Amino acid sequence: MTSTVETLAWRDDALHVLDQLLLPAQIQYVVCRTQEQVADTIRRMQIRGAPAIGVAAAFGMALAVKTWEGPAGQELSEHWMRCRRLLADTRPTAVNLFWALDRMQKLYDRVSGQDLEKIREATLTVAQKIYRDDVEANRTMGRNGAALVPDPARILTHCNAGALATAGYGTALGVIRAAAESGKNVHVWVSETRPYLQGARLTAWEMDQEQIPYTVIADNMAGTLMRQGKVDLVIVGADRITAKGDVANKIGTYQLAVLCHYHHIPLYVAAPLSTFDRSISQPEQIVIEERPAEELSKMAGVTITPAKAQVYNPSFDVTPHALVSAIVSPVGVLYPPYDRSITRAFDKQALLEGSPSQEV
């Protein structure tokens, strides 16, 4: 965001997390001084969005070492693994969480034999680098994806894939931001995104911050808008992308993809490479998180369903790769066949990074 509001920030030896449960009414931060507090903010969705969760988890592991009062060695390693499991168990679908934990693990494996202060310094350094890299990747993605946006453009987006879902700037909203910054005339259709209303509460708030024209719509209005010729493209973020390009994203994305296919409207996905899970090739392999029934059966604390109503509340769905027009990544725009273009993207990233560097 170009405003001074940050999704998360490391200050005064603590992770400060913007409480997204209170937006747009209040801007308030949760101060996390322990890994347990970081895990709680992720579990409660005070921080959400796959890239942001990954960054927060990295800082959570840095806090796990910072707050350790025992000696370095085996006891610290056992503590480290307990903290890793704690954070890994918060939300199962967003692969960025596990990517960040794996990256912190590789760092810890290299420095675990050093003294405690050096381990603390190293873990915090890498967590801060993960934060900076995410912001830079999002800005690069925005520039890459802006070329896909016509001028003028009526863009429909779902959930929140903006600065609030990342360390800064955003994925899908990053593309929209970059298009607007380049001078293109864009208008954004913001789907409310039931049941958590990430669109109505968060994406609309971000559009206000950036002064980008937008209109909030009910989720079930998308098809009518498309039939009326009022949508030029749909762009969304992602929580996990398979090796073949199948996309797990906020529940409701799949039906938008089907509608786009029927109405011949492109559906674009914007995601950093940390969102790709090349270890799986089938959509059925993605674990879909189910959220508490109360998130669907209540609205603003008021029960809106019969007391005995059964509730099914999956947080994500999977869009088959055949319905995805292109994937915007930090190393370029990927097109079908995705198994090939995704492989090329990682090869290109490896060349850009050169030989593996020591991060301490």
209 burial (CB, 10 Å; 0-12 / 13-18 / 19+) is: middle
CA dihedral defined by 333, 151, 198, 165, rounded to 10 degrees?
40
Instruction: Please count the other Cβ atoms lying within 10 Å of the Cβ belonging to residue 254.
Output: 18
C-alpha distances out from residue 283 to 243, 252, 271, 317, Å: 10, 16, 17, 10
For the chain, the helix, strand and coil percentages under 3-state DSSP, each to the nearest 5: 45, 20, 35
Long-range contacts: 105-109, Cβ < 8 Å, 24+? Answer: 107/359, 107/360, 108/61, 108/80
Distance (Å, rounded) from C-alpha 338 to C-alpha 3?
36
Strands 186-191 and 332-334 turn out to be unpaired
How is the beta sheet containing 29-32 ordered, strand by strand? 8-11, 14-18, 29-32
Question: Is 115 a catalytic site residue?
Answer: no
Q: Which of 13, 134, 219, 239 is catalytic?
A: 239
Distance (Å, rounded) from C-alpha 219 to C-alpha 241?
23
Q: Measure CA 296 to chain center.
A: 22
96: left (phi over 0), alpha (psi -120 to 50) or beta: alpha
Q: Measure CA 300 to chain center.
A: 24
Distance (Å, rounded) from C-alpha 353 to C-alpha 194?
40
Distance (Å, rounded) from C-alpha 170 to C-alpha 72?
38
Q: Catalytic amino acids?
A: 239
